């Protein structure tokens, strides 16, 4: 699923290529989508590239090739979408929990699907929970998120894994965290503090480290465990 802005950018680039045969500049993309900076365009293009919608042409400045177009409904939020996960963070009405059961597992809320390749919206499903071995959770509130993408494969985090997250707004340097970027994108990455900047590092050389200002990234929780299904 594409975000609304990703879909808008894909349509704009395709229209310009169809009309002129020339890819629009980053400034033209920024103005068309009414964004404040070209860095936002860079993130959107990276997301489209990672999802297989566009390809950067080598040795040609700002040249993009459209590989496929999204369905007309691909940018529409599905039932159960809750913008608070994006706008207000997981702490706004989406509390985690660690509810011990009398059996051999703990039931955690499964808030949705998080990108490990590029930020996408977390999808809330209030009816969904996941049974977790007690050894994967400790003190504090916890929640689970399904991983999408392969940017964290060298950290042993694969597409389809269920990430167990301890809810919190702080994390140690080098921890793998759920990060809210610019108050509207959620991703799972390794956090590095570099002076006044924050780096969100992938664990796959095919993906780039992204650098942000200290006010652009909010920690939503820290990875404490993983579960994987082989069927």
Q: Which of 45-49, 91-95, 105-109, 134-138 has the lowest mean pLDDT?
A: 91-95
| Model confidence pLDDT, tens digit, residues 154-165 | 999 988 888 999
3-state secondary structure labels for all residues of the chain: CCCHHHHHHHHHHHHHHHHHCCCCCHHHHHHHHCCCCHHHHHHHHHHHHHCCCEEECCCCCCCEEECCCCCCCCCCCCCCCCCHHHHCCCCCCCCCCCEECCCCCEEEEEEEEEECCCCECCCCCCCCEEEECHHHCCCCCEEEEEEECCCCHHHCCCCCCEEEEEECCCCCCCCEEEEEECCCEEEEEEEEEECCEEEEECCCCCCCCEEECCCCEEEEEEEEEEECCCC
Domain positions in the chain: 4-66, 84-227
Q: Which CATH architecture has domain 84-227?
A: Ribbon (2.10)
Give the mean pLDDT of the chain.
76
Please determine, for residue 139, whether its predicted confidence score (pLDDT) is greater than 70.
yes
| Cβ atoms of residues 106 and 96 within 8 Å | no
pLDDT tens string 51-93: 788 888 776 656 788 888 876 434 443 333 332 222 223 333 3
pLDDT of 97 > 60? The answer is: no
At 54 the pLDDT is 87
Q: Which overall architecture, per CATH, does domain 4-66 show?
A: Orthogonal Bundle (1.10)
Judge if pTM exceeds 0.85.
no
* Catalytic positions, written as ranges: 151, 189
């Amino acid at each position: 699923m594409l975000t609304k802005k990703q879909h808008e950018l894909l349509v704009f680039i395709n229209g310009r290529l169809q009309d002129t045969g020339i890819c629009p500049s980053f400034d033209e993309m920024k103005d068309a989508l009414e964004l404040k900076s070209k860095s936002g365009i860079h993130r959107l293009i990276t997301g489209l590239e990672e999802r297989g919608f566009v390809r950067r042409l080598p040795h040609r400045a700002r040249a993009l090739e459209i590989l496929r177009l999204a369905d007309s409904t691909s940018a529409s939020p599905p039932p159960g979408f809750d913008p608070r996960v994006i706008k207000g963070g997981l702490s706004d009405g989406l509390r985690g929990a660690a509810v011990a059961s009398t059996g051999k597992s703990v039931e955690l809320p499964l808030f949705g699907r998080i990108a490990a390749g590029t930020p996408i919206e977390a999808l809330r499903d209030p009816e969904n929970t996941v049974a977790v071995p007690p050894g994967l959770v400790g003190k504090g509130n916890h929640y689970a998120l399904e991983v999408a993408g392969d940017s964290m494969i060298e950290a042993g985090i694969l597409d389809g894994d269920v990430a167990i997250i301890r809810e919190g707004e702080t994390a140690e340097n080098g921890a793998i965290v759920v990060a809210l970027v610019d108050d509207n994108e959620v991703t799972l990455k390794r956090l590095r503090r570099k002076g006044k900047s924050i780096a969100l590092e992938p664990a796959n050389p095919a993906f780039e480290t992204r650098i942000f200002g200290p006010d652009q990234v909010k920690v939503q929780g820290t990875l404490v465990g993983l579960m994987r299904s082989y069927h």
